[in-house]
Amino acid sequence: MHTSIDLHNSRVLLTGAAGGIGLAIAEGFLLEGADVLATDIKASEGIEQLIAQYPNQLTYVDVDLSKDDALEALLEKACDWDVNTLVNNAAIFDMGHIWESNLDQYDRLFHINVRVMFRLMQGVASHLRDNKKTGKVINFSSQAGRRGEALVAHYCATKAAVISYTQSAALAYADDGITINAIAPGVVDTPMWEHVDKLFAKYENRPIGEKKRVVGEEVPLGRMGNPEDMVGAVLFLASSLADYITGQTLNVDGGCVLS
Ligand SMILES: NC(=O)c1ccc[n+]([C@@H]2O[C@H](COP(=O)([O-])OP(=O)(O)OC[C@H]3O[C@@H](n4cnc5c(N)ncnc54)[C@H](O)[C@@H]3O)[C@@H](O)[C@H]2O)c1
């Protein structure tokens, strides 16, 4: 029996690596000795610092995941590089009244949050299966995927879809030793929440910053999460300690959702 997280053999494709949670996950994997192929639409200062700190472990590429050619090229690069762990973290948020919403918002959110998530999961898991290798997929859902919200219909639906695809894919690839799980954060203090807060200010007629303060106070553990709060769950699910866990969505939310 072994009881420590050992990620020295992990080769991790991580999307959204320049964002709030993605950057913390990248650093967590690097600290634990994993090799990371990180990607985002544009590098951030944080990613540049990690590249300087971990030149042998971290490769970073700019990729606009909304472009199919670029997505397929990334997948090919990751498979050639012998990826065995995928963290589908990139996503976008938008909100508004359902009666004002148009299909453009639906398409944009479903494209990044679901279509891209699905294609990378399918591509990496099938590559592993075809090469008789085991591996791990971790998809980012949200507490928003657990129930609908009047102003957040499309985003909630995309995150519910992540939970469902995680379950179906986990069953489909179970015989191949590939585990597929999701993480459902609650409210996490990242650039995404700055954007969310501004939108709630507009739609609920609140001062900027108020929604963020209120949602933090409502968390049973008494505060918003920070990106580092997500890292332990990701590293655990990526490790052999979680070999007997698949198809699950783990709430990492300070107690907001009890399921
Ligand atoms: N922050 C929260 O409160 C919260 C709560 C629940 C779930 N989540 C989920 O956690 C994950 C990370 O969220 P975050 O808060 O760190 O968000 P973030 O906005 O800080 O990071 C998301 C990253 O995805 C990247 N991305 C978006 N579109 C892209 C594209 N077309 N091509 C390439 N990259 C693209 C962005 O550039 C960004 O760096 C997301 O899946 C999000 O839905 C976040």
Q: Measured from the CB, is residue 155 less than 6 Å from ligand 1?
A: no
- Measured from the Cα of 23, ligand 1's closest atom is 16
Catalytic annotation on 155?
Answer: yes
- The arithmetic mean of pLDDT across residues 77-85, rounded, is 98
Q: Of 54, 155, 165, 173, which one is the catalytic site residue?
A: 155
- At 196-234, the pLDDT tens digits run 999 999 999 999 999 999 999 999 999 999 999 999 999
Query: In this structure, which residue's CA is closest to atom 17 in ligand 1?
Result: 192
Ligand 1 pocket member 62 (CB < 6 A)? no
Ligand 1 and 25: CB distance under 6 A: no
According to the model, what pLDDT value does residue 13 have?
A: 99
Which residue's CA is the closest to the ligand 1 atom numbered 21?
19
132 CA distance to ligand 1 middle (Å): 32
Fold of the 11-186+226-252 domain: Rossmann fold (3.40.50)
Using CA positions, which residue lies closest to atom 19 of ligand 1? 192
**How far is it, in rounded angstroms, from Cα 215 to Cα 21?**
18
- What are the sequence ranges of the domains in the chain? 11-186+226-252, 187-224
| pTM over cut 0.75 | yes
Dist CA 1 CA 19 (whole Å): 36
pLDDT in tens, 23-61: 999 999 999 999 999 999 999 999 999 999 999 999 999
pLDDT of residue 1: 85
Token reading at 8: 């020295």
